[in-house]
Amino acid sequence: MSRTKTAFLFDLDGTLIDSVYQHVLAWKTSLDAEGIDIPVWSIHRKIGMSGGLFTNILLRETGLDATPERLDRLRKNHAAAYKELSGSVRPLPGARELLDYLTEQGNPWGIATSGRMETAGHNLAALGVDPAKVPVVTRDQVKYAKPDPDLFLTAAERLGVDIRDSLVLGDSIWDMIAAKRARGLGVGLLSGGYGEEELSKAGAFRVYADPADLLLHIDEVAARA
């Protein structure tokens, strides 16, 4: 039996990069500036979906109009506040090693993030990923971000792989929902701060602590060379 090498489609923030909590507090700052008072944990639970969808939902919950000007201010203030906090952002334990391992083994891999290249660029550099060599799909390139399946479907397409032979690796329930909708197999990581059961309930068929833990148990989800 000939076996196709399993492809790995990664989310970025909270999955390969330790940046979720900084994004959460940056959104808190941005929402505060608009007079939108949302508890921080509930921002955390929405992180990872499309920024536009995220702000739309929050505005709907608070009864404010989602005018283009307001959405634009929210996005810009978030980016500015994130920049302030991003000094402490680093790759997650094992992230670089996991990507190197996949490259050596010949497993195709790519990155699909709800963020824009404007914020993702710095993180890719910290990871040592060159978007000229590795498929990186950002919010800028698809019409609908997570929990829609488009980001992961586009990443699979770029790699020339069938999403049904692919793993979708993410830290948020939006990744797992997008994985299901794309017919990929969702693998959850706790490194974005969601609980194990939240990820399992959202469709993760396995959950690991972080990229290092996944690398340690990689035989559970993908065949060796």
| Residues at the site binding a copy of itself, with contacts judged by CB under 8 A | 14, 18, 20-22, 24-25, 28-29, 32, 37, 39-41, 44, 85, 88, 90, 92-93, 190-198, 210
**What values do phi and psi take at 207, rounded to 5?**
-130, 130
Please say which residue, 49 or 156, places its beta carbon nearer to a copy of itself: 49
From the CB of 47, what's the least distance to a copy of itself, in Å? 11
Please say which residue, 14 or 135, places its beta carbon nearer to a copy of itself: 14
Please say which residue, 14 or 147, places its beta carbon nearer to a copy of itself: 14
From the CB of 122, what's the least distance to a copy of itself, in Å? 17
Please say which residue, 31 or 112, places its beta carbon nearer to a copy of itself: 31
| CA–CA separation, 186 and 60 (whole Å) | 29
From the CB of 199, what's the least distance to a copy of itself, in Å? 9
| CA–CA separation, 197 and 116 (whole Å) | 29
Single out the residue of 203, 202, 172 nearest to residue 190, CA to CA.
172
Answer whether 10's CB lies under 8 Å from 179's CB: no
From the CB of 194, what's the least distance to a copy of itself, in Å? 7
Answer whether 186's CB lies under 8 Å from 131's CB: no
| CA–CA separation, 180 and 202 (whole Å) | 9
